[in-house]
Chains A and B, each alone.
Chain A
Amino acid sequence: MTGTTITSQPGTPFVEVTREFDATPAQVFRAYTDPELVTQWLGPHGIEMEIFEYDARDGGRYRYVHRDERGEYRFRGVFHTVTANERLIQTFEWEGAPGQVSLDSATFEDLGDGRTRLHTHSVFPSVEARDSAIAGGMSAGITESYERLDVILAKEA
C-alpha cells in the first residue's frame, strides 16, 4: 500500500506529487482526460464539480467550477501537451487569482502488472503563489485524524 508523496521544498515554487495506482497507464490517462470521469474524482472532498469545457488535446482548453456550501471556485487552463497514456502538460489558473498561472505536468509511469506510478510536477509563478495554493488546500476543512509521520515519509511503512 502506497500513499501520496508530496515534495514541496521551502523557498521553491515547485510542488511534486507521487502516487501509485492499481490500473494501467491507459486507464489512468483516461480518468485524467475523459470529463465524465474527471468530475468523479478531481478536487477537494465534498465538492461538486461541473465541467464546461475539457478538450484534452494539444492546444485544447478546459474550464470547470467547484462548488461547495461556501461558494464557487472557477478554474481554467490550456492543455499544452497531451501524449496518450504517457503525459499531460497543462496550465492551471484559479479565476479568483487571475494571472497566477501554474504549469502542471503529469507523467504516467508503467510499473507493469497493471500498475502505474503517477508523477506530477507543478511550477507556480512565485514561492508566495505556491505557498498560498498549499494553504488553500489546507483550509479544505479536514478534521479526521491521521498518521502524522506518514506525511513526509512518502510511504506507509
Chain B
Amino acid sequence: MAVDDEVLDRAFTALGDPVRRALIARLSRGEATVNELAEPFDITKQAVSRHIQVLETAGLITRSRDGQRRPCHLVPAALEALTGWIDTYRLATERSYRRLDAVLEAMEEK
C-alpha cells in the first residue's frame, strides 16, 4: 500500500496525544458520538471535539449523519498504513518482554 509521507506525518502527529489514542481505541470497537466519546474523560466536551477534529483532519476518522446523531467512525485504511510501519517492531519488542515476564515469574517462586 503506497502511503503519502505527508499523510503519515499528519496521522502520527495526531496520535501523539494520549486522549486521541484513547479515542481511537474506543472507536476501534465501533462508532460513537462526541457525547459518548467524551464520557470517560475528565475534560470538557469542547476539548474532546477539538481532539476529534484533529483526528478527522488527519484522515483517521470520519463523521456521518444519522438523523440527529453525527457518529464518528475509524478509517481502517489510514490505520492500516500506520500500523504496517511499526507493527513488526513492536511485536518483536513485545516478545522480548514476554520472555522477561517469564523470567520475573520464575524469580518470584524462588
> Counting CB contacts under 8 A, is B104 at the interface?
yes
Q: How far is the CA of A154 from the CA of B18 in the complex (A)?
A: 9
Residues B79 and A152 in contact, CB atoms below 8 Å apart: yes
Rounded to whole Å, the gap between the CB of A75 and the closest CB of chain B is 14
Which secondary structure dominates where chain B touches chain A?
Answer: helix
Q: Using Cβ atoms and an 8 Å threshold, which residues of chain B touch A154?
A: 18, 21, 25
> Counting CB contacts under 8 A, is B95 at the interface?
yes
Residue of B nearest to A7 (CB): B16
Residues A138 and B96 in contact, CB atoms below 8 Å apart: no
Q: How far is the CA of A19 from the CA of B105 in the complex (A)?
A: 16
Residues A40 and B103 in contact, CB atoms below 8 Å apart: yes
Rounded to whole Å, the gap between the CB of A78 and the closest CB of chain B is 22
Residue of B nearest to A11 (CB): B9
The stretch among B31-39, B50-58, B65-73, B81-89 that forms the contact with chain A is: B81-89
Q: How far is the CA of A7 from the CA of B12 in the complex (A)?
A: 9
Q: How far is the CA of A92 from the CA of B44 in the complex (A)?
A: 44
> Counting CB contacts under 8 A, is A125 at the interface?
no
Residues A157 and B107 in contact, CB atoms below 8 Å apart: no
Q: Using Cβ atoms and an 8 Å threshold, which residues of chain A touch B80?
A: 148
**CB < 8 Å A-B pair total:** 117
> Counting CB contacts under 8 A, is B92 at the interface?
yes
Top-5 shortest CB links A-B = A41-B99, A23-B104, A41-B100, A4-B94, A137-B89
Q: How far is the CA of A148 from the CA of B79 in the complex (A)?
A: 8
Interface residues in A47-74 by Cβ distance below 8 A to B read none
Scoring B21, B95, B100 by chain A CB atoms within 10 A of each residue's CB, the highest score goes to B100
Q: Using Cβ atoms and an 8 Å threshold, which residues of chain A touch B75?
A: none
* Interface residue range, chain B: 35 or more
Q: How far is the CA of A2 from the CA of B97 in the complex (A)?
A: 11
Residues A151 and B83 in contact, CB atoms below 8 Å apart: yes
Chain A contact residues, CB within 8 Å of chain B? 3-4, 6-11, 17, 19, 21-23, 27-28, 30-31, 37, 40-45, 118, 134, 137-138, 140, 142, 144, 146, 148-149, 151-155, 157
Given contacts A27-B108, A134-B86, contact A3 B100 (CB under 8 A): no
Rounded to whole Å, the gap between the CB of B64 and the closest CB of chain A is 20
Given contacts A43-B96, A146-B91, contact A152 B86 (CB under 8 A): yes
Pick the residue among B26, B82, B93 that contacts A4 (CB under 8 A): B93
Rounded to whole Å, the gap between the CB of B105 and the closest CB of chain A is 7
Q: Using Cβ atoms and an 8 Å threshold, which residues of chain B touch A137?
A: 88-89, 92-93
